[in-house]
Amino acid sequence: MRKRLASLGEAIVALVGRVVSFWRDTAAAIGERWRSSLQFKVTVSTLALSTAVVFVLVMLLQYQIAERLLDTKRRAAIAQTRAVLATAESELEGIDANPESLRERLEQASRKITSSSPAAHELEGSAAGAFEPVLASGDRSYAGVGNGPATPDESIFVGSYGNVPTDLREFVEQGREAEQIHTVGGTTYLIIGAPITTNARPLQLYLLFPLSSEQNTVSTVQNTLLAGAAVLLLLLAGIANLVTRQVVLPVRRAANAAARFAEGDLDKRLAVAGSDDLSKLATSYNEMAESIQTQIRQLEEFGQLQRRFTSDVSHELRTPLTTVRMAADVLHASREQFPPGLARSAELLADELDRFEALLGDLLEISRLDAGVEELTAEVVDVRSIVERVREQVKVLAGSAGSTIELDLPDDEAIAEIDARRVERILRNLVANAVDHGEGQPVRVALGVNDEAVAITVRDYGVGLRQGEEELVFNRFWRADPSRNRRTGGTGLGLAISQEDARLHGGELEAWGAYGYGACFRLTLPKAQGAELTDLTVIPLDLPPDPPALPAGDGQQPDGDSASVPGDAENARGGTDGMGGADGPNGASGADASGDGSATADTGEPHADREEVNW
C-alpha cells in the first residue's frame, strides 16, 4: 500500500512538473514573441484593450436590459395588484369575524381572483403575467369579540402564505403597500403586498409573480451578448493584425534590405509603390543607399589608388636607394679619413639610410596587407622556442638600456599552428618597445596555453600609458609626444603591422597601461589554424598578468585601462592609416610601438614615447 501511495505521489509530482514546465515554456515563447514582433505586440494590445471595453459594454447592456425588464414587470405587477385588490375588496365586503366563515370567504375570494379578473385585463397590468394570490388575516394586534389578544396560530390565510417573507408581512400588516423580490425553492418571485381596508378585521392581499420568464430573457440576452462580444473580439483581432501587417511588412522589408546592404549587397533597394508615408520612407532609403554606395565605391577607388601609389613609390625608390646606399657605404667605410664633422655626417647618413630601407619595407608590407594578398605560412611549432629566440635577439638592446628580460614559460610544450615568422616579428617588436620604455626596469615575458588558445604577455614597469592611449597605440604613425627624438630609429608602423599579423592568425593584440606603472601587451592566438577567438574563449593569461608595482611613496593601486584590438580587417584599417612593421632589407622585421602613449615623469626629465624598433 505504501509503495502504491509513493508511486502515486511520484506520478503526481511528475505530472505537476510537466504542467509547470509546459506553462513556463509557453510564457517564455510568448515573451520572446512579444519582444521580437511588433505585429504580435500591436495585435495582442488591441485585443486586450478591446476585451476590456467589450466587457464593460456587455455588463452595462446586461444591467440596463435587466433593469428595464424588472421595471416593466414591477409596473405591470402593481397595476395587476390594484385591479385584483378591487375585486378582493368587493368579494370580502362585510365579512364576518368568525374564523370558520372568514376562511370560507377568503377561499371564495381567491377562486374569484384566480378565475376571473376583468379589470386586470383592461389595464396594462395584464402584462404582468401569471401570478399566485395569497389572502391572509395576519394582524397580530386584532382580538376577536369576547376573545383575548390574537396569537400567531389565529392567523388565517389562503394560498402560499409561507412564501411571503416576514419583513414584507410586517409592512403590509401596518397598512402599507410594499413589494419585494424573494427566492423560494429555486424560484424567484416579485411579491406585491397591499392591505384590504374595507372590513373591520384587517386583511392582506399578496400576489406572487414568478420572474422565470424575465430570467430566461436576461439569460438569453447575456448569452447573445457574450457570443457577439466573442465574434467582435475575433474580428477586431483580425482587423488589427491585418492593419498592423500592412505597416509592419514594409518595415520588415526595409530592415531586411538594410541588413543585406550592411552585409555588402550594395545594390539592394526597396520597391516603391504609391506615394504614402511608407513609400516616402522607401524612397528616402533608396536615395540614402545610393549615396552610401557611391561614397563607398569612391573610397574603394581612392584606397586602391593609394595602395597602388604606395607600392609603386616603394618599388621605384628601390633603385635610387640602392645607388645612394652604395655611395653611403663607401663614405661610411672611409669615415676615419674624414675630418670629425664629415665622419659624423657619414655615420648619420648610414643610420638614416637604414631607417629609410626599413620604412620602404614596411610600406611594401602594408600595401600587401591592404590588398589582402598576404597569407599565413602556418606550421606546428613550440611557441617557447620563439620566445627564447626573441630574447636572444633583443638581449643586446636590453643590455644597453640596463634592463633584463625575464621569461615565465610553462614546463610542457606550448604547441600551436602558427606562422612562426610573423609571431616572432610581433614579439620582437613588443619586447624591444618594452625595453625602450622600461627605464632600466626588468621586462617580463609570460607564456600561457590551454586547449583553445596561446597567450603571450610582455610587461614593462616604465612610464606606462595615459588613459585612452591604449586605443591609439596601434594607429599608424601615432606618437604620444611628437617632439621626442626617436632613440631606436623606428618607422612608426610596427604595432600596426603586429595587429595585422594577429588578425591573420584569427587572434587579437591588446594593450594595457597606467601612468607611472608601466604597460602590458597581450598577444592571444588560437591553437589551430582557421579557428577564431570568441567571447567564450578562455584566455590563459590575464591583462596585466600581475598587479602593477607601486612607485615609491604611492599607496594606491592604479586603475589601469585595457583596450582590445581584435584582429579584424575593419579595425585594423580604421582610424589613422598606420600599420605595423615589416621585414627590413636584411630580413629582420620592423618593430613598432609608435604612439604607445608613454607618460612623462613629474621630475621634468625627458621621457620616452612608444615607437618602433627595426632590426
Judge whether 49 and 233 are in contact, CB under 8 Å.
no
Phi, psi angles (nearest 5°) of residue 611: -150, 170
**In this structure, are strands 443-449 and 405-408 parallel, antiparallel, or unpaired?**
parallel
Q: What residues contact residue 125 under an 8 Å CB cut-off, 6+ apart? A: 76, 77, 78, 79, 80, 81, 82, 83
Same domain? 42 vs 177: yes
Judge whether 527 and 553 are in contact, CB under 8 Å.
no
- Residue 246 falls within a domain, yes or no? yes
Place of cell 596561446: 454
* Secondary structure class of 544 (helix, strand, coil): coil
Same domain? 435 vs 388: yes
> What does DSSP assign to residue 336?
G
| Residues facing 405 on adjacent strands | 443
| Three-class DSSP labels, 448-492 | EECCCEEEEEEEECCCCECCCHHHCCCCCCCCCCCCCCCCCCCCC
Report CA-CA distances (Å) from 27 to 15, 237, 425, 484. 18, 20, 55, 64
Same domain? 497 vs 536: yes
- Residue 366 falls within a domain, yes or no? no
Place of cell 410586517: 170
* Secondary structure class of 552 (helix, strand, coil): coil
pTM: 0.45
Same domain? 89 vs 201: yes
Domain containing residue 526: CATH number: 3.30.565.10
C-alpha cell read off for 283: 524612397
pLDDT for 141 equals 46
Same domain? 464 vs 406: yes
* Secondary structure class of 577 (helix, strand, coil): coil
pLDDT in tens, 348-372: 888 788 777 777 776 777 666 666 6
Judge whether 500 and 369 are in contact, CB under 8 Å.
yes
- Residue 502 falls within a domain, yes or no? yes
Judge whether 435 and 598 are in contact, CB under 8 Å.
no
Same domain? 284 vs 228: no
- Residue 590 falls within a domain, yes or no? yes
pLDDT for 56 equals 92
Cα first-last separation, the chain: 88
Report CA-CA distances (Å) from 592 to 293, 429, 483, 501, 596. 35, 6, 17, 13, 9
Distance of alpha carbon 469 from alpha carbon 254, whole angstroms: 39
- Residue 364 falls within a domain, yes or no? no
Range of the domain at 287: 277-351
pLDDT for 154 equals 54
pLDDT for 557 equals 46
- The sign of the torsion formed by the CA atoms of 207, 212, 213, 217 equals positive
Averages of pLDDT over runs of 10 residues in the chain (615 residues) are 79 87 87 81 86 90 90 88 84 70 81 65 57 77 38 67 88 87 88 80 86 88 90 88 83 84 83 79 86 86 75 74 82 83 84 76 70 75 91 88 90 89 89 86 91 91 82 73 51 78 86 87 88 80 70 44 38 34 36 35 36 36
| Residues facing 565 on adjacent strands | 509
Q: What is the DSSP string of 40-84?
A: HHHHHHHHHHHHHHHHHHHHHHHHHHHHHHHHHHHHHHHHHHHHH
Distance of alpha carbon 521 from alpha carbon 191, whole angstroms: 97
Same domain? 74 vs 127: yes
- Residue 547 falls within a domain, yes or no? yes
Q: What residues contact residue 558 under an 8 Å CB cut-off, 6+ apart? A: 514, 515, 516, 517, 548
Same domain? 439 vs 557: yes
Report CA-CA distances (Å) from 306 to 300, 314, 370, 596. 10, 12, 10, 26
Distance of alpha carbon 112 from alpha carbon 392, whole angstroms: 133
Domain stop point among 200, 235, 266: 266
Same domain? 425 vs 530: yes
Distance of alpha carbon 79 from alpha carbon 181, whole angstroms: 17
Q: What residues contact residue 494 under an 8 Å CB cut-off, 6+ apart? A: 362, 429, 433, 580, 581, 590, 591, 592, 593, 594, 612, 613, 614
pLDDT for 475 equals 74
Same domain? 545 vs 462: yes
What is the total count of domains within the chain?
Answer: 4
C-alpha cell read off for 400: 644597453
> What does DSSP assign to residue 546?
S
Domain containing residue 166: CATH number: 3.30.450.20
Same domain? 442 vs 519: yes
Distance of alpha carbon 152 from alpha carbon 131, whole angstroms: 26
pLDDT in tens, 129-154: 888 888 888 654 443 333 333 344 45
- Residue 7 falls within a domain, yes or no? yes
Helix 2-36 to helix 38-91 angle (10° resolution) is 110
Domain stop point among 336, 351, 366: 351
| Residues facing 454 on adjacent strands | 449, 525
Same domain? 300 vs 215: no
- Report the greatest alpha carbon distance in the chain: 170
| Three-class DSSP labels, 117-160 | CHHHHHCHHHHHCCCEEEEEECCCCCCCCCCCCCCHHHCEEECC
For 161, counting Cβ atoms within 10 Å of its Cβ (0-12 exposed, 13-18 middle, 19+ buried), the class is: middle
- Residue 532 falls within a domain, yes or no? yes
